[in-house]
Amino acid sequence: MDHQQNLIKDSSTLDLTQLMDALEKPAPFTPGEPLFWNDPHISSQMLAVHLDPNVDLASRKADTIDASVSWIIETLGLQAGDAVLDLGCGPGLYATRLAQRGLAVSGVDYAQRSITYAREFAAEHGMSIDYQWQNYLTLEAENLFDAVLLIFGDYCTFTPDDRLKLLGNVRRALRPGGHFILDVSTRSLRDRYGLKNGWYVSQGGFWRPGPHLVLESGFDYPQQAIWLDQYIIIEPSGKMIVYRNWFQDYDRASIIAELTAGGFDVQSVWGDLTGTPFSEEGEWIGLVAKRVA
């Protein structure tokens, strides 16, 4: 099924067959509309959420980011001049703080609007941060970084094959003995939020600047520990667009096994990336992994 269709076939007929097909449970990691991160309207809304210091949505709250940066530097023993790569850097919230601590920082993100904001912010504040608009899966850096960060569950959004490729890219980018810092979500987080199932009409909001209908659906794949949040947007013209956010969830054993298979030695496991002790009932798992030589 195409992720963009028009439900109105003529001036008076609404084709519900396509809508019913879109509401069926898809196979794991079936893609949705690819123009999400760089959609002109959605990307502006996403940037605004990133920059709101009081919400845990696109980015974590400002005080949590502050605590994470301090904890990462202390835990890894990073010194001024050490090279750090922030994957999924967004508008540079972590990268800016790392650079202010004297680290040589690079940031990569696939959202062009966020990268543009990050570059402009760095230039305005006299900060030398190398920002690149790029998909992590095309990363070609080799032996350049002392640490690579992938924060707020970004790792969980990739397919199994893409995660394997991503781990290879991160391992290659790290210097011998370098560290990979990431966090992943657990089933406890999904259980708390539950499965989306509803609809609403908006005169303008996150998905579109003008009137539109939003159908929200959630799907659980318990045998694979996968969840899907799906959003079907229907415009007044009848145009239908399907957006899908996939999440692979983990427990301690499964994420350690995956990182080990990808060429990393997991050195410590935490409840988050601020140093909270790990709990089997926790919603997040923070990991410090070392590149295997």
**What is the rounded distance in angstroms from the CA atom of residue 142 to the CA atom of residue 59?**
28
Confirm whether 79 is domain-assigned.
Answer: yes
Q: Is the pLDDT of residue 226 over 80?
A: yes
What is the pLDDT, as a whole number, of residue 13?
Answer: 73
Q: Domain for residue 126, yes or no?
A: yes
Inside any domain, residue 21: yes
Is the confidence at residue 188, as pLDDT, over 90? yes
Whether 36 is covered by a domain: the verdict is no
Q: Are residues 206 and 155 in the same domain?
A: no
Is residue 175 scored above 70 in pLDDT?
yes
Q: What is the mean pLDDT of residues 200-211?
A: 97
Residue environment code for 58-79, b if the CB has 16+ CB neighbours within 10 A, otherwise e: bbbeeebbbbbbebbbebbebe
Nearest-10 Cα torsion for 40, 116, 78, 269: 0
Integer Cα distance of 118 and 133 in angstroms? 11
DSSP states of 129-169: -EEEE--GGG----S-EEEEEE-SSGGGGS-HHHHHHHHHH
Q: Write down the pLDDT at residue 136.
A: 92
Together in a domain, 174 and 196: no
DSSP-derived 3-state class of residue 19? helix
Q: Are residues 113 and 215 in the same domain?
A: no
Q: Calculate mean pLDDT across residues 145-156.
A: 97
User: Structural domain tally of the chain?
Assistant: 2
Mean pLDDT taken over the chain: 95
CATH of the domain at 161: 3.40.50.150
Neighbours of 2 (CB within 10 A): 10
Cβ(136)–Cβ(148) under 8 Å?
A: no
My answer on whether 163 and 238 are in the same domain is no
Q: Which letter, b or e, does each residue of 153-170 get, where b requires 16 or more Cβ atoms within 10 Å of its Cβ?
A: bbbbebeeeebebbbebb
Residue 132 banded pLDDT, cuts 50, 70, 90: very high
Closest CA to 30 of 230, 271, 293: 230
**Bigger pLDDT: 248 or 37?**
248
- What pLDDT, on the 0 to 100 scale, is given for residue 217? 97
- Do both 220 and 287 map to the same domain? no
What is the percentage of the chain residues whose pLDDT exceeds 90?
A: 90
Q: Are residues 215 and 286 in the same domain?
A: no
- Mean per-residue pLDDT, 276-285: 97
Residues 207 and 275 reside in one and the same domain = no
What is the tally of helices (H) and strands (E) in the chain?
8, 12
With respect to residue 38, please indicate whether it lies within any of the assigned structural domains: no
Instruction: Please list, in sequence order, all residues whose beta carbon lies within 8 angstroms of the beta carbon of residue 242, skipping any fewer than 6 positions away.
Output: 1, 3, 4, 22, 32, 33, 230, 231, 232, 233
Lookup: tokens for 164: 């394997």
Residue 9 banded pLDDT, cuts 50, 70, 90: low
Query: Containing domain of residue 235, as a range?
Result: 4-30+188-248
151: in domain: yes
171 and 234, same domain (yes or no): no
Give the pLDDT score at 60: 94
Q: Could you please report the per-residue DSSP string of 210-264? A: S-EEEEEEEEEEGGGTEEEEEEEEE-TTSEEEEEEEEEE---HHHHHHHHHHTTE
Could you give phi then psi for residue 98, rounded to 5 degrees?
-65, -40
Bridging pattern class, strands 104-109 and 83-87: parallel
Tens digit of pLDDT for each residue in 54-81? 999 889 999 999 999 999 999 999 999 9
- 82-98 tens-digit pLDDT: 999 999 999 999 999 99
Please give the biggest Cα pair distance in the chain: 67
**214 in a domain, yes or no?**
yes
192 and 59 belong to one structural domain = no
* pLDDT attached to residue 14: 75
- The pLDDT of residue 11: 60
